[in-house]
Chain A
Amino acid sequence: MTTPVLSVRDLVVEFPTRHGPLTAISGVSFDLAAGEILGVVGESGAGKSLTGSAIIGLLDPPGRVVSGEIWLQGVRIDQLRGEDMRVLRGRQVGMVFQDPLTSLNPLYTIAQQLIETIRAHLKVSASDARKRAIKLLDDVGIPAASRRIDDYPHQFSGGMRQRVVIALALSAEPALVIADEPTTALDVSVQAQIIEVLKEQCTQRGASIMLITHDMGVIAEAADRVAVMYAGRIAEIGPVKDIIQNALHPYTAGLMGSIPSLTQEENRLVQIPGAMPRLADMPSGCAFHPRCERVFEHCKRHRPELISVGTHEVSCWLYKEAGGEATTP
């Protein structure tokens, strides 16, 4: 079995406050194989963006990684600081964020930004770098790339800008691309285009993608596997089709049911009562238990760990290792 591109083990992220530390991510573990697209889906407050930030070392202080291991292409990176992290970030990990306006420096042309990044991580001459940059823009679908490369970010439309951001993320030929809500700020008709570009270009270059979003539709289109996060932990992880059609964790099932269908008439949407708990008011045991229809006593006191059930991994007391329903009291 080849080494996964990214391997996260028991990641814990805390925010110290005057009332004591708040645990924002409490024990997240997953692998991302080479060439795979892993979706990380969750509602606001679930900790999905934080997971992405923690992996590339861009946590906003005072947040910090308290424990856990992060391995990138077989090398441990969670202990890296400063300059080492910066080099790594550009070369091995590319990033695509939600807002293309803040990802691109408005004062420099696209050419300048692309070439700077390319030359910072690859040993090529200036003219070679420019050629590479033009090819990149062409690949992501910018028409008349050789002319438009000298434009400024504000001269591009929203969708075009996001394509440029993808080009920038891929310019140093990274092994991993972390995309955090890459289509949320775009119109529906453009979202589909951007997802397609992201998928195509990363697959072509052999880069894996960690796709973080709240939009299950985007995951359905783009991802191979999906991790569903709830209150700082992974509730369920598995192949996209399996998760959508046969969710095991009650939260995942509720989530899928609450999304209105494009193809069927429904009278009522599935409704999960309550809301995701605040970090300061985390319930004991399983964080989802106050909202769960199938809760029983054990759930209130003990926190479930991720176990394999068929093609999924679930953290829920309803299930037992090696498939099948658990012997619930």
Chain B
Amino acid sequence: MNAPDTKPLIQVSQLTREFDVSKPWLNRLLEREPKQFLRAVDNVHFTINKGETLALVGESGSGKSTIAKMLVGLLEPSVGSIVFDGQAMRTDTSADMQALRKRFQMIFQSPYASLNPRWKVGKVIAEPMTMLAVELSARQIQRRVDELLALVGLSAPDADKFPHEFSGGQRQRIAIARALSASPEFIVCDEPTSALDVSVQAQILNLMRDLQDKLGLTYLFISHDLSVVRHMANRIGVLYLGALVEIADSKTLFTHPVHPYTRMLLDAVPDLSMSGRERKRVEGEIPNPINPPAGCTFHPRCPFANSRCKSEVPQLKTYGTGVASCHAVEEGRID
């Protein structure tokens, strides 16, 4: 992987998103229930530097998909801001936002639902250009579509086919071609290989890394699969119930995880190399995000929890080259 620049391309501060999941008004009236809110993302801060790959890792309910959507302007944050190269991210379609939209893109999880089944592949790939790069002529667009198809390992005649004529891996290549068509700098990858077979995943991950080297792309890579993330990312952020519990360099996270949840997650991942490492038994399940535990949301499952953990929310503090939010680490109770 290339050594990244130190100028932050993306700055995310105090990012929070709540959803109103209350029952309909009439039901609430009759059942005398209060409104209910789901805090999917809770006060998240991070930066992404130009040229690097930041991964966000988490299980269900961690908020990683919600963060992805906010980063590309598909969802409004409830609180907080996202700044892209000095410009604030918004969800409207004004002229300056359209100019900004040219600079970022997204690759989605499902190769089946992310391409319109009624559109020909060429049209799918050209769409970002027709919307955002209006100065290009039809001929130029056509030529660029052919270039992109070749770049992702497909061929020019494929532009006249429909998505259903391709396999899952090939569709994801088409999705990548689409993401690259308006020449963005930053791509959010939301579980791009989770729906693919292992051998196909290898092809796609290799392709993504090659493209990053070739085109100088910056990635935000979202996944639940720690081994994939290790392979792809420079830095990794670990999410639990909407909050960032740790951010660290890729290597450091796996060799010296700090937060108890990170340790638990690493212990839970099956060991293919069968090194016979000592593993702790994993406790409990992810709680209901509508009514999260008080204080540190991880405390019911944490072997190091004390009374402070049950009432006070921990803050992100620096440890070595990374950050983590844990009272036990702060108090020096864990090594």
Contact = CB atoms under 8 A, between A and B. Distances in A.
Asked if A and B form a direct contact in the complex, defined as CB atoms under 8 angstroms apart, the reply is: yes
A209 to B, nearest CB: 16
A261 B273 contact: yes
A158 interface: yes
Contacts of B227: 259-262
B167 interface: yes
B268 A188 contact: yes
Give the secondary structure class of B's interface. helix
A189 B198 contact: no
Interface stretch (B84-92, B93-101, B180-188, B202-210): B202-210
B132 to A, nearest CB: 32
A233 interface: no
Interface string B268-281: 11111111000001
A254 interface: yes
Given A244-B274, A258-B202, A270-B202, A275 B167 contact: yes
B47 interface: no
A269 B197 contact: no
A71 to B, nearest CB: 31
A268 B206 CA distance: 6
A263 B228 CA distance: 12
A20 B230 CA distance: 46
A244 B270 CA distance: 13
A187 B239 CA distance: 13
Interface in B204-238: 205-206, 209, 224-228, 230-231
B214 to A, nearest CB: 14
Contacts of A43: 197-200
Interface residues of A, number: 45
A219 B214 CA distance: 37
A111 B128 CA distance: 55
A87 interface: no
Given A217-B269, A262-B227, A192 B60 contact: no
B169 interface: yes
A260 B270 contact: no
A220 B274 contact: yes
B199 A255 contact: yes
Interface string B190-203: 00000001111111
A265 interface: yes
Contacts of A261: 227, 230-231, 272-273
A210 interface: no
B272 A265 contact: no
Contacts of B294: none
A44 to B, nearest CB: 6
A269 B227 CA distance: 12
Contacts of A214: 197-198
B206 A245 contact: no
A263 B202 contact: no
Nearest to B167: A275
B169 A244 contact: no
A273 B204 CA distance: 11
B286 A262 contact: no
B110 to A, nearest CB: 14
A258 B272 contact: no
Interface string A200-217: 000000000000001111
A187 B273 CA distance: 21
Contact of A258 (B199, B265, B275): B199
B127 interface: no
A112 interface: no
Contacts of A268: 206, 209
A269 B231 contact: yes
B308 interface: no
A189 B61 CA distance: 13
A157 B199 contact: no
B285 A272 contact: no
Given A159-B285, A188-B224, A268-B206, A217 B270 contact: yes
Nearest to A42: B197
B23 interface: no
B254 interface: yes
Contacts of B167: 275
A66 interface: no
B202 A189 contact: no
Given A262-B226, A262-B272, A265-B251, A187 B286 contact: yes
Interface string B40-81: 000000000000000000011000000000000000000000
A122 to B, nearest CB: 31
B282 interface: yes
Contacts of B272: 216-217, 220, 244, 256, 259, 261-262
A257 B202 CA distance: 9
Contacts of A218: 270
Given A244-B274, A265-B251, A269-B205, A44 B269 contact: no
Instruction: Point out which of A188, A244, A245, A255 has the most chain B C-beta atoms below 10 A from its C-beta.
Output: A188
Given A265-B251, A275-B169, A220 B231 contact: no
8 contacts: A187-B59, A187-B285, A188-B226, A192-B270, A258-B201, A263-B273, A269-B205, A275-B167
Given A217-B271, A220-B274, A262-B272, 20 more contacts: A43-B198, A43-B200, A158-B285, A159-B285, A188-B59, A188-B265, A218-B270, A240-B274, A241-B274, A244-B272, A244-B273, A259-B198, A259-B272, A260-B230, A262-B230, A262-B271, A265-B230, A268-B209, A269-B206, A275-B167
Interface of A: 43-44, 157-160, 187-193, 196, 214-218, 220-221, 240-241, 244-245, 254-263, 265-266, 268-273, 275-276
Top 8 closest pairs, chain A to chain B, by CB: A217-B270, A258-B202, A43-B197, A269-B202, A187-B59, A260-B231, A260-B227, A192-B268
